[in-house]
Amino acid sequence: MAKSDVTNYFRRTSLPWVVAVTLSVGFFACVVFAPEVIPYDLLGPFGTFCRYLVENHADLLYKGWWAAVAIHVVEALYSQKVCSDKGVHALSARLLWFVQTFLFGLASLGILLKFDPKRHKQQ
């Protein structure tokens, strides 16, 4: 990998992670902000548990939602430090890492953390 390849390094999160995180966060958002649209009866024991949380611990769910958002923001900011440490300096690549890590969290950050620019030979 040439030096410019390290500077522009970016890999997308795998599709299974994208789907899993999107569905999970979307469901969590619906439970917190629009609990009336969830078909609890169709979800079996999980639906019963979710209905219990909505009816008895809505404030905890709301705080949990914002805590999850805060964690994703911190992960996205940390991805920028990791980019700097690993020599990824292209603005476009850094922006992609920031957005992807904000959206998909550790599924994205893990890819960046595993990247070892020293291991890749220059062409």
User: If the chain, 123 residues long, is cut into consecutive pieces of 10 residues, what is the mean pLDDT of each piece?
Assistant: 73 96 96 96 96 97 97 97 94 96 96 87 47
pLDDT of residue 120: 59
Q: Which domain holds residue 110?
A: 15-114
pLDDT number for residue 7: 87
* Total structural domains within the chain: 1
Give the 3-state secondary structure of residue 122: coil
Token output for 69: 């958002």
Q: Given CA atoms 104, 105, 106, 108 in this order, what sign does their dihedral have? A: positive
What secondary structure does DSSP assign to 13-56, as a single string?
Answer: PPHHHHHHHHHHHHHHHHHHH-GGG--GGGGHHHHHHHHHHHHH
Spatial distance between the Cα atoms of 90 and 10, rounded to a whole number of angstroms: 10
User: Strand, coil or helix: what is 120?
Assistant: coil
Q: Which residue is associated with the tokens 């390094």? A: 9
User: Domain for residue 108, yes or no?
Assistant: yes
In a domain? residue 37? yes
